[in-house]
Amino acid sequence: MNEFELIRRHFTQATPNAVLGVGDDAAIVRPSPGHDLHVSVDMLVAGRHFFPDVDPEALGHKTLAVNLSDMAAMGATPRWAVLALALPQLDGAWVEAFARGFFGLAAQHGVSVIGGDTTRGPLTLSVTIFGETPQGQALRRDAAQAGDDIWVSGELGLAAAALQQRLGRLDLALPPECRRQLEWPQPRVALGRALLGIAHAALDISDGFAADLHHILDRSACGAEVWLDALPTHPALHGARAQLLSCIAAGGDDYELCFTASPARADAVLAAARQAGVAVTKVGRIVAEPGLRLLNGQGAAVTLERLGYDHFA
């Protein structure tokens, strides 16, 4: 099978919401009038973002999930994606399983995969995703206001705990949800959309809660107090909270949303979360004074050794 046949067989699927799909020099889409177009790109490299022996179907899912999570963080409705991948060799079964994971999640979210590029090289995946919001309504990182509540969706630290265990750095019985969160993250697209007009600032937690919250504080020129005991995690991990604090507060790979909203909108936040079928937890508040203060149960400031993932550290 040559390159063109491989691409055609696995990566060319129906593109109902495109004018022109795969097969020309460019795909053609028609953005919705009165909407802003959101664009985000992520690159995943074997041995850095995933284990080379990972289940290819899970990898296909996660490759798109991390991009959908960026759309969720803006409150955008994802519509189109393109996929570029470098593969060390042509392995039909691997490519088929990867495509199953990738296109399966795309179909769940009504996303058309409108283009791609395949080449030989060290296993590397790059997805660019496109979504839409009504003009001017996006959830941006620079919109937090002093007095806002800080919320997070779902549970934190599960994926990081699974990764630490896989690396032999954590000796603890973990619930199966940890590995599932690491390999099959569920992007919070419905929650992001439901928060339009309710939340102020938002982002998705990919490098760790504390590091990512810093991005909101930097862009919004404000500070925050966070109650570490309030950070939500899996019930089975409560007994090991102290041991897992760095996973929960700074672990990365959560793909949950962190957002701020006026305390007056707390009921609307909870209603949006119910509508989206996702739990949300209030974990702190935005303050005018710059800096992030992490507080323990006694209200004392806590310093974390590392705040998040630096790809070149």
87: Cα separation from own chain's centroid:
24
Q: Which residues of 243-256 are buried (b: 16+ CB within 10 A; e: fewer)?
A: ebbbbbbbbbbbbb
Q: Which residues of 33-43 are buried (b: 16+ CB within 10 A; e: fewer)?
A: eebbebebebe
Order of strands across the sheet with 149-153?
A: 202-205, 256-261, 149-153, 280-287, 223-227, 291-295, 301-302
Is 204 flagged in the annotation as binding?
A: yes
Closest contact distance (angstroms) between CB of 19 and a second copy is 6
Under rule CB under 8 A, residue 163 binds a second copy: no
Using the contact rule CB under 8 A, the part of the chain among 18-26, 177-185, 227-235, 269-277 near a second copy is: 18-26
Residues 55-94 as x/- pattern, contact with a second copy by CB under 8 A: ---------------xx-xx-x---x-xxxxx--xx----
Q: H-helix or E-strand containing 131? A: strand 124-134
The residue among 28 and 271 lying less far from a second copy, judged by its C-beta, is 28
The residue among 24 and 171 lying less far from a second copy, judged by its C-beta, is 24
Using the contact rule CB under 8 A, the part of the chain among 56-64, 127-135, 160-168, 262-270 near a second copy is: 127-135
Closest contact distance (angstroms) between CB of 128 and a second copy is 4
DSSP 201-238: BEEEESS-HHHHHHHHHHHHT-EEEEEGGGS---GGGG
The only residue of 52, 92, 110, 121 in contact with a second copy, by rule CB under 8 A: 121
* Distance set, CA 31 to CA 60, 178, 223 (Å): 26, 38, 37
Under rule CB under 8 A, residue 111 binds a second copy: no
245: Cα separation from own chain's centroid:
20
Is 309 flagged in the annotation as binding?
A: yes
Residue 53 CB neighbours (<10 A): 7
Q: H-helix or E-strand containing 70? A: helix 56-74
Assign 109 to helix, strand or coil: coil
Is 311 flagged in the annotation as binding?
A: no
Is 49 flagged in the annotation as binding?
A: yes
Under rule CB under 8 A, residue 31 binds a second copy: yes
Under rule CB under 8 A, residue 24 binds a second copy: yes
Token representation of residue 232: 């939500």
Q: List the interface residues with a second copy, window 217-276 (CB under 8 A).
A: 219
Under rule CB under 8 A, residue 98 binds a second copy: no
Closest contact distance (angstroms) between CB of 111 and a second copy is 13
Q: List the interface residues with a second copy, window 267-296 (CB under 8 A).
A: none
Under rule CB under 8 A, residue 109 binds a second copy: no
Using the contact rule CB under 8 A, the part of the chain among 41-49, 51-59, 227-235, 236-244 near a second copy is: 41-49
The only residue of 169, 264, 305, 311 in contact with a second copy, by rule CB under 8 A: 311
Number of residues that bind a second copy (CB under 8 A): 71
Is 234 flagged in the annotation as binding?
A: no
Annotated binding site for ATP: 116-117, 141, 206
